[in-house]
């Protein structure tokens, strides 16, 4: 896996730019990644990102928008408002978590 430097820290990323080692992530990196895709992080964003990080630590998988709604308590509509068009993918990118799995 190639590495790159984000916010002064060396991190592993995949070809698309998603971080592949969740342990390398920190809040400074999140701000840079959010800026990369035109999102300014507010308290509402952070609440969601923290849920994703905690849920990943417990489950070993990136939460789907459905799980963020049912377990994290953030309605899907609000996820779309905070992370327009593709909330699942954008949340994972900023939270430094693997892209949600897509199957054939």
Partner 1 sequence: MPSLVVLGAGTAGTMVVNKLRPKLGPEWSITVVDPSELHHYQPGYLFLPFGTYQPKDVVKPMTHVLRKDVDLVRASVDRVDVDARTVHLTDGRTLDYDYLVIATGTTPRPDQTPGMAEAMGKNVHEYYTYDGAMALRRALDGFTGGRLVVHITEMPIKCPVAPLEFAFLADSYFSERGIRDKVEISYVTPLPGAFTKPVSARAFGDALAHKGVQLEPDFVVEHVDGEEGLLVSYDEREIPFDLLVTIPLNMGADFVGRSGFGDDLNYVPVDKQTLLSDFSDRVFAVGDATNIPASKAGAVAHFAVDGFVPNFLAHIQGRPMTHLFDGHANCFIESGHGKALLIDFNYDTEPLTGVYPYAKVGPLSLLKETRLNHLGKLAFRYIYWHILMPGRHLPVPIRMSMAGKVPAADVEAEPHDDAPPIPTF
87-95 vs 43-59: helix crossing angle, rounded to 10:
80
The answer to whether 92 touches 9, Cβ cutoff 8 Å, is no
Burial of 87 (0-12, 13-18, 19+ CB in 10 A): buried
**Min separation Cβ 58 and partner 1, Å:** 13
- Which of 16, 26, 99 minimizes the C-alpha distance to 63? 99
Residues making contact with partner 1 (CB under 8 A) = 2-6, 13, 15-18, 36-37, 64-67, 70-71, 76-77, 79-80, 84-86, 89-90, 93, 101-104
In this complex, which beta carbon is closest to partner 1, that of residue 6 or of residue 49?
Answer: 6
In this complex, which beta carbon is closest to partner 1, that of residue 23 or of residue 36?
Answer: 36
Specify whether 99 is catalytic: no
In this complex, which beta carbon is closest to partner 1, that of residue 50 or of residue 66?
Answer: 66
Give the sign of the dihedral formed by CA 53, CA 58, CA 59, CA 65. negative
**Min separation Cβ 53 and partner 1, Å:** 18
**Min separation Cβ 64 and partner 1, Å:** 7
Active-site positions read 103
């Amino acid at each position: 896996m190639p590495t790159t430097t984000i916010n002064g820290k060396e991190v592993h990323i995949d070809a698309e730019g998603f971080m592949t080692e969740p342990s390398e992530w920190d809040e400074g990196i999140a701000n840079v990644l959010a800026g990369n895709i035109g999102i300014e992080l507010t308290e509402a964003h952070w609440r969601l990102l923290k849920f994703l990080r905690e849920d990943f630590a417990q489950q070993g998988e990136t939460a789907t928008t459905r799980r963020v709604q049912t377990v994290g308590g953030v309605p899907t509509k609000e996820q779309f408002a905070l992370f327009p068009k593709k909330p699942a993918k954008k949340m994972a990118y900023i939270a430094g978590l693997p892209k949600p799995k897509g199957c054939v």
